[in-house]
Each structure stands twice: as structure tokens, then as C-alpha cells.
Amino acid sequence: MQIADPELEKKQLLKEYRNLLKACKETIVKKDKKLIRDAFTLALEAHQGMRRKSGELYIFHPLSVATICASEIGMGTTSIICALLHDVVEDTDITLEDIEAKFGKKVSNIIDGLTKISGVVGKTNSIQAENFRKILLTLADDVRVIIIKLADRLHNMRTLDSMSRTTQLKIASETLVLFAPLAHRLGLYNIKNELEDLTLKYTEPKVYKEISQKLQDTKAQRNKFIKKFIAPIEQKLKEEHFDIEIKGRPKSIFSIYLKMKKQGIPFEEVYDLFAVRIITESPIEIEKADCWRIYSIITDFYKPNPDRLRDWISFPKSNGYESLHTTIMGPEGNWVEVQIRSTRMDEIAERGYAAHWKYKEGQSNADKSVEDWLNRIRETLENPEANAIDFLDDFKLNLFDEEVYVFTPKGDLFNMPSKATALDFAFEIHTQVGLQCLGAKVNHKLVPLSHELKTGDQVEIITSKKQKPTESWLKYVITPKAKNNIKTALKDEKRKVALDGKEILQRKFKSSGVIWNNQSLSKLVNYFKLPSQSDLFFNVGAEKIEKTELNAAFKFIESAAKLTVKTTGKTTLALTAQGKVIDKPDLVIVGENTDLEYSFARCCNPIPGDDIFGFVTIHEGIKIHRTNCPNGIRLMSNYGYRILRCKWATNQLQETKTFQAGIKIVGIDGVGIVSKIADIVSKEQKLNMQSITVSAVAGAFEGAIILNIHDTEHLEQLIQKIRAIQGIDSVMRFDIEL
């Protein structure tokens, strides 16, 4: 690790500190400047002699986090002080009492929240879903805690190069699962996009570089198109005396990647690579009308797609986002997304509603939409018995989903997650209304409880005191509030049945002469393959376990098993029944570790050349996943302690061993085209096809081939050869589930 020259570091540090003061000069007064200087001095002394993995002085990190808070989010003095001091309690001898004495209770409370999060979200360890609730508890108290943590995570992602490959994958996966959705929910769209792009940089480095390079190569062409596109609009808007700014900006690399993956197309076929933003300087009382006037002028020149109009100025998103989005046909036959908004709306969209308005010092009125969202978080936290993974999934629903707007019969407006049902809406009105929901009328027509709501629906809930929730209700709801309340009601009912079952079992133990203790009960639980003792009691009470089965179970004698996975060398990997890893190898070399019990995950089916990692399962040894596997991202973010670093052996026996892979082919139907594809696969490449399916409609065809392949290089050669056939439009690899 190379250490920089002390004098150069000192100059750089002074420069970065001045940049911080410059970034926040519009939001601070003279006394604030002194507080920021005191915080910087304290952080500098506390972190003296400490360096990051990259070799730079540690103080550069909190200084960078504070600058992100000031310049990229627009936060005030309190938040900047907390950003400068966010690591001192965890990493140095400074205490919360010291901070409170110098900067006050508010600052010490936020630092306390940040310190608690750091205990869960380590600098090198992944989040475990079991600890996720702790983060949420701090968030529900003060959103600034999570905003500063987002800035901290953004800087860590920007400087992730110095970390090991395993750590990069864990932190990147965790960022995609939690921090990017949080940034999205708080309206910090620039930060959300950058976090997603940086995640792709480390999980799919080749794809990231390819898209990044192609965006750079097509920049001049895009700029020329944008200039041609906006010329007539700009002239007309100026004639109408609008004070406007027009920007053309490319979509994020991650969003382009998702579109390529979802539609199975190469970069060249992603036509909406950029969006045009028109920003008008309008007084707040007429800004909405001005946005619609601009929309009218644009559609005088270009035809809009009526299915792609998004009105977020009449119905702002619950994070405060306001904008009018439309997709129109450009002069060269390409679809172009246009975003129309006022300067005020743009500032909120760029910096985030919660950070810029609610928590900017001097603002006292809390924003209702953010408060409503925090209340939903608190409701989610109220269910302490929720399964950790379900809890994480439910919370993410509150973060990332789009919204629909529905009305009560009296005209009250409610915003609900997209795909919410009539039963979700009943619980949104009141818990008791949900529990007694018998049916619903949508737009005056009777609908089932599972009816999916759409924007503009008017919903009337029909209740009955005799109604009780059933297990099937859980299939009809998506909101955490509804799920939690239904589960609680079902558990109350289940608890009554379980008490009866417990009494039956106690009598059975007594008559059989078997000692009633946890060990005996655990054996019965394992025998019937049930999750817990309470499930055992319930199944007995509900007569789901017959007397003959119960008699056979009492003969069952077997101790709780412990799974041990053998490895080569001295390292042993042991996984207890509780899922705790005792020890694990540093590296699994797939193809060399012949004594290692591993298999390939069916969900993503990796082949040599893919980026891979290992996951220790409870019953099936080690599963090898691709790093971009959707299941893999979840596993890396939730179970970091069970992740193993893996790579393919260099002597992978590619000449004899093959792996299954799938390719999707789209093109223009023609005589002999399937035969040409088959010739390339079988005769030229000498590959064995497991299956081939082809469908043709109105002159176009789509085919899917599953074949045995040696590695990714071999697969790419095949794709290029098929792509060269006349009439073939696109050839893409797709994931197959074995």
C-alpha cells in the first residue's frame, strides 16, 4: 500500500474542506460555519493516523460524505456535522456524551442511530435479514440517519476498488437490495441511479464497461439528434414567453442493462437511451398550468403515445416527486421520453423531497407524504413475529413500487402500491374494516376481495361483524399492513387450537411413559417435518396428525443433525442446524476441489467463464450461483456469512465436459432459416442440442435453443455466428431452470 506525501495530503485535505464550505455556503450562517469547523477538527483529531484500505487518510471519507450531503442532497448544518462525525463513536475513543456536550442532543441522537446501523451494516459484511429491523427502527425515528447513511454508502461504492472481490460482491448486492430502493423512496434519484450503476460495475464488470463505452461512442450522435429534436420546440416556447431550460440526458447504465435483459435485445436496439427534460421558471400558482401548456405545444410538433402519459403534477408521488412525463415519436421515427416540470419540481426531483424540504434547517412544517410513509414503516415494525425474509420483502414493497390513486365514496384520496387489491384498501382505511371485510364495490360494481385496483377507482368496502380472516386472504393482499394484520388474526385463532393440541400431547406423553421435555418435543417436530413446536401443537389440535401417525412418531429416536461439508486441505466448513458457519475455506476452485461437495444452482445454471460464488445450504452442500443470478443477489445481501469465493479451474477439461445454456433468437421468418441455425450449432460448432422450439407469426419468428456448451467464450462465438445469418435480428443468452 503506497502512502502519499504528507504535504500533498495536507494540501488536498484543505482543498476538500474548502469544497465542503463552498457546497453549503447558501444554507449556513456564520455561527454554523464555526460548528462545522469544530466538527471537522474533532473528526480530524479522532481519526488521526487512521487510513482506509486504499491507503488514503481516513478523514477524507467523512469529509466526502459531508460534501455529498451538502452538495448532492442539499442538507443543512446538523446533517453536515453528523456526516463529519458519523464514524467517531464506533471507531475512536469519542463517546456520545462527548458529542452531546459539544453539539447538542439532536446531533448525538443522529450519531447514535448511525452507529447502530454500522453495527448491522458493517464496512465489509453483508446485511442479514434478521438484523434489518434494527435499521428500520433508527430510520423511523429520524430520516436524516438513513440519508447520511446513503451518502456514506455512495462514497464507499465510489471507492470500492480497493476491496477484495468477495467484499465487492457482498457490498454491491446489499446496495442493490436495500440502499438503492431507499434512495428511490426518498426521492434521491441521482443517488439511486449512481448506486445501481456502481452495483452493476462490480457484479457485471464486462457488461458495465460495454454499455458505458457504447454510450460514450454514441454521445455525439445523441447530442446531434437532441439538438434537432428540441429546435422547433425551443423556438415556439420562447415565442410564447416561457423562461425555460432544456436538457437531454442519457438513461442510467443500469436501466439500459435491465431493458436489454428484459427484452432480450442488444444495446443497439434500445431506442429510448435518453430523456429530454424541459424545465420552466414559473410561479408556484401557475406552474401546473404552464406544464400542460408546454405539453400542448410539444404535441403540436410531435405525436405522443397516449399509453405513456404520466401525470405526477396532479398526483405527486408520495416521496414528493412532481413531473409530467410523455413519450413522443421523434423526427427520425424514434420514441423519445420528455419530462416537463417547473424549477421547484426539478429541485425536488434532483435532491429529494425529504432531504431538501423537510430537513433543511429552518423548515418547521413536516411534509405529510413523508410522515405517511414513516407511519407505514412503523406499522410494518409492529409485527415482531414476522419472518425476517418476508419482512424484508414487505418493506421493499413500500420502497420501490409505483402507486395508484383511489377514492372513497365520499371522495377522499388514498395512494396505494401498484397491484394493491380491494382487501388491501380495506385495511388501509382501518384494521377493523379489513378484518370484517365481506366484499367491495369498485365504481359501484361488486368485485371480489382480490380485485386489483387502478388509478381513479372509487372503492366502497362492505363489512360484516361475523366475518373472520382466512388463510386464503394472504393470497389477496400485497401491503405489509394487510399481511401483518391478517397473520396476527390467524395466529390468535391458531394459538387457541394449539393450546388444545398441547393438552392432547401431554396426555399422550403421560400414557406412553415418555418424558415431556424440549428434546422429546424437538424429535417429534423433526419427525413430522414441522417448523416449530407451536406448529406441532396446532396440527395435533386441528387433527391434521392422525392417532396412528402419532403412535408411530413416539418410536422415533434420532438426535438433531449437524451438516458438515468436507473440503481439501486443513479447512473444514461446518454448518449447524441454526445455520451458523463455524469455519470456511477462503476459495473454492470449481473443477479442482474434487473432495468438496458442491453442485450448480438450477435457478441460473452457471457455465465456465461466468462470474460465480458459492452458497452454503442447510441440506445440499454448496450451491454454485452466477453473481448476476436474481436469487444470488438476495443470498449475498441477506446471508453474507454463508457466501464463499469461487472461481473456475484453469484446467476445466473443456474438451470433454459440457454445461447446459439457453439462447433466444428473434428474426424475420424465411425459408431454411432454422436449418441454417441448426447447421451452425451441430455441424460447425459440433454442439449437442437438448431442445429447440420455434414459433412464427406474421413473418417474424422467435426461437429458443437449449444446448450443451463448454464455456462462455464458446457460447459467445456461437451467438456471433448465428447473429451473422441474414434475417436474424437478435441472439441473446437466457437463464434456464433445470
**SS3 label, residue 240:** coil
Cα separations (Å) of 191 from 22, 117, 158, 198, 383? 21, 19, 11, 10, 31
Of 9, 16, 38, 90, catalytic:
90
Closest CA to 594 of 644, 660, 649: 649
Exposure string over 15-46, b if 16+ CB within 10 A, otherwise e: eebeebbebbeebbeeebeebbeebbebbbeb
- Phi-psi region at 19: left, alpha or beta (left = phi > 0; alpha = psi -120 to 50): alpha
Active-site residue identified among 38, 91, 592, 669 = 91
Following DSSP, what letter does each residue of 74-89 receive, concatenated? Answer: ---HHHHHHHHTTTHH
The secondary element (H helix, E strand) that includes residue 245 is strand 244-250
Query: Residue 8 has which C-alpha cell?
Result: 500533498
C-alpha 273/C-alpha 244 separation (Å) is: 23
| Count of other CB atoms within 10 angstroms of residue 705 | 23
Which amino acid does the sequence have at 136? L
Identify the residue whose cell numbers are 444495446.
Answer: 267
Strand partners, 446: 441
Residue 295 CA neighbour count, 13 Å, CB half: 23
Residue with cell 421493499: 396
Residues near 595 by Cβ (< 8 Å), separated by ≥ 6? 566, 567, 568
The helix/strand/coil state of 653 is: coil
- Report which secondary-structure segment, H or E, holds 598: strand 598-600
Pairing of strands 437-442, 335-342: unpaired
Q: Which own/partner pairs from 321-329 qualify as long-range (CB within 8 Å, at least 24 positions apart)?
A: 321/187, 321/189, 321/348, 321/349, 321/353, 322/348, 322/349, 323/349, 324/291, 324/292, 324/295, 326/295, 326/298, 326/299, 327/272, 328/298, 328/299, 328/302, 328/303, 328/304, 329/302, 329/303, 329/304, 329/305
> Is position 90 annotated as part of the catalytic site?
yes
Half-sphere exposure of 689 (CA within 13 A, CB side): 17
Q: How far is CA 147 from the centre of its chain?
A: 16
**Ramachandran bin of 127, using left for φ above 0, alpha for ψ from -120 to 50, beta for the remaining angles:** beta
**Alpha helices, H only, 121-142:** 132-141
- Residue 285 falls in the annotated catalytic set: no
Label residues 72-93 b or e (16+ Cβ within 10 Å = b): bbbbbbbbbbbbbbbbbbeebe
Phi, psi of 715 (to 5 degrees): -65, -40
Residues noted as catalytic: 90-91
